[in-house]
Amino acid sequence: MSVTIKTEDEIASMRIACRLASEVLDYIEPHVQPGVTTGELDRLCHDYMVNVQQTIPAPLNYAPPGYSPYPKSICASVNHQVCHGIPGERALKKGDIVNLDITVIKDGFHGDTSRMFIVGGESTKQASRLCSITYECLWVGIARVRPGAHLGDIGHAIQRHAESNGFSVVREFCGHGIGRKFHEEPQVLHYGKANTGMELKEGMIFTIEPMVNAGRAAVSELPDGWTIVTRDRSLSAQWEHTVLVTSDGHEVLTVSAGSPPPALTGDAARAA
């Protein structure tokens, strides 16, 4: 399968799925407090998706080739966990940083987005800086999206912003095309060279989801077969949006009333 160009009808369906994914994060935000377990956050999100939104949690039983079926409805990755953290009995503590990654399916279309949360509202200087620089990385990537740009422009901008701030970019996982399938072509790397890779065309939809580490870039997989951690146990952060290439730039689809404002816009993002 190659990269698909979405029709107007497909784009309309994707707008809905993506807004709903973002609304799950709006819903769960007040529950991310010291003492709550990641399993409880999973249960709350699951029930909200299934009973309130009538969406399907895409992660539940998701089994790409070589993986066992994912057992929960969201991913919850705490501190040195990079991505795909399986919710469970772990209780969050004040100062933990946690990524919640939500993918819903509505009318056959996927919306995929994640945010960082600082538990109890305060953490170390390093942890808060990692979360905000990673958010800027997402937005400097988004700022590059327009017809005629190349995938490498996105990766290059993200890598430069992360590394110039003393952080490193995870190489093993990337953004992805998305639509009727959870993971479609193309792969959207978060590092690379400007002016290389596939040329972007109006109607493409893909995610940008940089994972940025406070220490070294290397990661390992835990014996659960899913959870990815930094090899040096340094902190890791990630933010994700699903983005449409429009005739004159881009539209961020995973937005809702509670979305945090863009980190940088226009010239500031292009200059970063």
Give me the residues that bind ligand MF3 (CB under 6 A), please: 59, 62, 70, 75, 84, 101, 103, 112, 207, 209, 226, 240
Closer CB to ligand MF3, 168 or 207, in the complex: 207
Smallest distance from ligand MF3 to CB 60, Å:
8
Least Cα distance to 238 among 214, 218, 212 occurs for: 212
Smallest distance from Co ion to CB 122, Å:
26
Residue 188 corresponds to which tokens in the numbers above? Answer: 């959207």
CA-based angle 56:58:63, to the nearest 5? Answer: 135
Residue 112 interacts with Co ion (CB under 5 A): yes or no: yes
Number of other CB atoms surrounding residue 219 within 10 Å = 21
Residue of this chain nearest to ligand MF3 (CB atom): 59
Smallest distance from Co ion to CB 38, Å:
16
Closer CB to ligand MF3, 23 or 112, in the complex: 112
- Indicate the residue type of 146: R
Residue 101 interacts with Co ion (CB under 5 A): yes or no: yes
Closer CB to ligand MF3, 123 or 178, in the complex: 178
Closer CB to ligand MF3, 147 or 225, in the complex: 225
Burial class (CB in 10 A: 0-12, 13-18, 19+), 246: middle
Smallest distance from Co ion to CB 240, Å:
5
What whole-number distance in Å separates Cα of residue 78 and Cα of residue 157? Answer: 26
Smallest distance from Co ion to CB 101, Å:
4
Dihedral over Cα of 126, 130, 133, 136: its sign? negative
Choose the one of ligand MF3, Co ion, none that binds residue 156, judging by a C-beta under 5 to 8 angstroms depending on kind: none
Q: Tell which one of 79, 81, 207, 227 touches Co ion (CB under 5 A).
A: 207
Closer CB to Co ion, 60 or 194, in the complex: 60
Closer CB to ligand MF3, 159 or 254, in the complex: 254
Close Cβ partners of 121 (under 8 Å, ≥ 6 residues apart): none
Window contacting Co ion (CB under 5 A); options: 36-44, 89-97, 121-129, 200-208: 200-208
**Contact footprint for Co ion (CB under 5 A):** 101, 112, 207, 209, 240
